[in-house]
A = this chain, B = another copy of it.
Amino acid sequence: MERKEQTERFKKGSANLAKIDGVGGQAVIDSLAGVGEDVGKYIIEFAFGDIYGRDALNFQQREMITITSLLSQGDTEPQLEVHINAALNVGLTQSEIVEIFIQCIPYVGFPKVLNALFVAQKVFDKQDN
């Protein structure tokens, strides 16, 4: 994996991934070791290196945007689970996460919001126990 270590973007992305997603993010990268190793690299370099590391918005705001985007496009349950955990990691509260989903009701309707709430419930239950 020498190639990965050599870029600044990969180092910066790995650090951001660890700070934001904790173990959940690294688990996604590890799960890509088979078919999608390069995709794992792009997630680290581009998503967490180039994008998350930008100024103008902090990690809490970025996770607020990320879970909203995942909810609104649908069919992203595994990603929502990772990023609800990430949202908690960077300091958003359970109430704020639920409130983010409630704010989406007028714009996407109830079904996608219910789907996201049930993922949140699952994440919160694990955290609380």
Contacts and interface: CB of A to CB of B under 8 A. Distances in A.
Interface of A: 28, 31-32, 34-36, 38-39, 42-43, 46-47, 50-52, 54, 56-57, 61-62, 64-66, 68-76, 78-79, 94-96, 98-115, 117-118, 120-121, 124
A108 B72 CA distance: 10
Question: How many copies of this chain?
Answer: 6
A108 B106 contact: no
A73 B70 contact: no
Of A28, A101, A102, chain B has the most CB atoms within 10 Å of the CB of A102
A118 to B, nearest CB: 8
A79 B98 CA distance: 19
Nearest to A116: B36
